[in-house]
Amino acid sequence: MNAIIFSAILGVVMMFTGIFTNKKPVITLTAIIALVVLLSMNLLNSHGIFSIQIDTKGLLHFNKMGMFFNTLLIGATLIFVLLSGTEIEKLSDKTADYYALIFFVLCGTAILTSFNGMLMLFLGIEILSIPLYILTGSDKHNLKSNEASLKYFLMGAFTTGIMLMGIALLYGATGGFGLTNVGTGALPPSSGVQGATFLQVAGLLLLFAAMCFKVSAAPFHFWTPDVYDGAPSVFTSFMATIVKAAGFFAFIKLFSANASLLGPTWTILLSFVIVATLLAGNITAVFQRSIKRMLAYSSIAQAGFMLFALYSNNDLGTEGIMLYTVAYCLATIGFFAILMKVKDYTFDGFNGLASTQPVLAFVATICLLSLAGIPLTAGFFAKYYMLASVIKAGGPIWIVVVAVLFAAVSVYYYFKVIQSMYFKEGQPETSEITSGFKMGLLVLAAGIILVGVLPSIVLNWFYF
């Protein structure tokens, strides 16, 4: 509960900060302090030391896993602001408003990690999405940013409609909004008909489509490249990591409880979505010229891997999605922070970065190796857990083989950046880079390697 309440309050606080001061660094500092407060409040809550109790009539349910996930997301936001706060300041004079919106997004993610019924799921998704529509269009004078925002808003609104329709159908079938009573009223197996009634199946499928849209899984991924490309890079970084991870959490929570209603169809459906997502993300990423766009497609590809947690639906999958979130957020936030310092977003724009900015190139390499899932980086164990969970669940070997073949494809486009930085000559233009920023990056890289050698650091914390 702490996370929801404090993120909302701190969001309002951030909004008012803009009235009292015009100094952008002060606003960023306030945001950092506010994030630390939010993080410690959530930690106090998850350790059971201090928590605000409100009777939610069973609409919200706070468990350890949800609160741990909150910690991860708030922590990732903190790292994001520490590394890229100056980029937010550069966007316009409305710095305080941007931070306020980020806090509102965090409020949405906190609801998504604790929802216990369809209504709260819906509220969480909406509270999360609406600030994002604004953030996407925050580069007002850039046509691409406007286009992205409008596109995101229209498609998002449409998906919201589909989602509501699904919830309505489930309500019609069961007479309730609860997460666990989706299956009530299902036909008993003895009736000869498979599990669920028509309304339940239709409702679940509509919800499935809507959630696929939110986590940009194929074939509902078409908005992702345009929106990620059009949005200001600093918010792309935020959207691709924290927001997406929260979406995944909700997706898994919703369907791990109810997927059995769909019977064997569920596995077929999900296998199709996973393979399609891996295919669409990886193959299209190969052909991109702009690194930012490549990252958009690669985030689709990563979503394909994360879906394995849903596929296996066991404890390894749960641990895996935690680790995946950590690995993916660290690497993506780090790489985006570097990307924003480089003027030219094409692959050629990175040519020779290793000779002009060795620290940036080194950290970027660690991030890319982690995204590609090379051992000794956090990304390896993230992928490892995903594959292991599927094999443990007795899933077919072919889908694992397909996944690793696509992981090998992903090496192609991630390494293209490394090749540009290290093996090609050039004079990339970069904006001013402070030594503090470099230190921050190095700490991040050390973190990626540390998790890559001892993943239990993250996981033990989960089981504290």
Partner 1 sequence: MITLLLIITPLIAGLMAFVLKQGSSAKTFALLASIATLVLALVAVFTPGELGYDIAWLNNLGSRITLKADGMAKMLSLLTAVSFPLIFTAVHQNTYKNEQAFYGLMLLSQAGLMGVFLASDALLFYFFWELALIPVYFLCSLWGGEKRIAVTFKFFVYTFVGSLLMLIGLLFMYFQTADQSFSLESFYAVKLTAKQEMLMFWLFFIAFAIKMPIFPFHTWQPDAYEQSPTATTMVMSGIMVKMGVFAFIRWILPMFPNAAAQSANLVIILSIIGMIYASLIAIRQDDIKRMIAYSSIAHIGLMSAAMFTNNRTAIDGVMIQMFSHGVNVIGLWIIADLIEKQLGTRQMSQLGGLAQKAPVMSILLVVMALANVALPLTNAFIGEFLMFNGLFQYNMIMAAAAGISIILAAVYTLNMVQKVIYGDTNSFTDKATDIPFNVKLSLVIIALLILVFGVFPQPLLNLTGDTVSALFVKK
Interacting residues toward partner 1 by CB under 8 A: 369, 374-376, 384, 387-388, 391-392, 397, 400-401, 404-405, 407-408, 411-412, 415, 419, 422-424, 454-456, 459
Cα–Cα distance list, 455 to 376, 380, 452 (Å):
10, 10, 6
Closest CB to partner 1 among residues 26, 279: 279
- Least distance from partner 1 to the Cβ atom of residue 267, Å: 19
| 3-state SS record for 10-32 | HHHHHHHHHHHCCCHHHHHHHHH
Judged by phi (left if over 0) then psi (alpha if -120 to 50, else beta), residue 195 lies in left
- Cα–chain center distance at 37: 22
The token pair at 308 is: 């394995």
- Least distance from partner 1 to the Cβ atom of residue 60, Å: 30
Residues 7-39 as b/e (b if ≥16 CB within 10 A, e otherwise) read bbebbebbbebbeeeeebeebbebbeebbeebb
- Least distance from partner 1 to the Cβ atom of residue 379, Å: 12
Closest CB to partner 1 among residues 132, 369: 369
Closest CB to partner 1 among residues 419, 427: 419
- Least distance from partner 1 to the Cβ atom of residue 260, Å: 22
- Least distance from partner 1 to the Cβ atom of residue 259, Å: 22
Closest CB to partner 1 among residues 58, 375: 375
Q: How far apart are CA 120 and CA 422, in angstroms?
A: 48
Closest CB to partner 1 among residues 155, 279: 279
Question: Do the beta carbons of residue 74 and residue 24 sit within 8 Å?
Answer: no
- Least distance from partner 1 to the Cβ atom of residue 191, Å: 36
Q: How far apart are CA 398 and CA 404, in angstroms?
A: 10
- Least distance from partner 1 to the Cβ atom of residue 212, Å: 26
Which H/E stretch holds residue 368?
helix 358-372
- Least distance from partner 1 to the Cβ atom of residue 270, Å: 19
Closest CB to partner 1 among residues 174, 377: 377
Terminal-residue alpha carbon distance, the chain: 20
Closest CB to partner 1 among residues 133, 381: 381
Question: Do the beta carbons of residue 442 and residue 363 sit within 8 Å?
Answer: yes
Closest CB to partner 1 among residues 134, 411: 411
Rg (CA), the chain: 21
- Least distance from partner 1 to the Cβ atom of residue 255, Å: 24
The token pair at 357 is: 């900015």
- Residue bearing tokens 């409609």: 161
- Residue bearing tokens 């922070």: 337
Closest CB to partner 1 among residues 180, 460: 460
Question: Do the beta carbons of residue 400 and residue 392 sit within 8 Å?
Answer: no
The token pair at 172 is: 């019609």
Closest CB to partner 1 among residues 155, 459: 459
Write the DSSP string, 89-143.
HHH-S-HHHHHHHHHHHHHHHHHHTTB-BHHHHHHHHHHHHHHHHHHHT-STT-H
- Least distance from partner 1 to the Cβ atom of residue 265, Å: 26
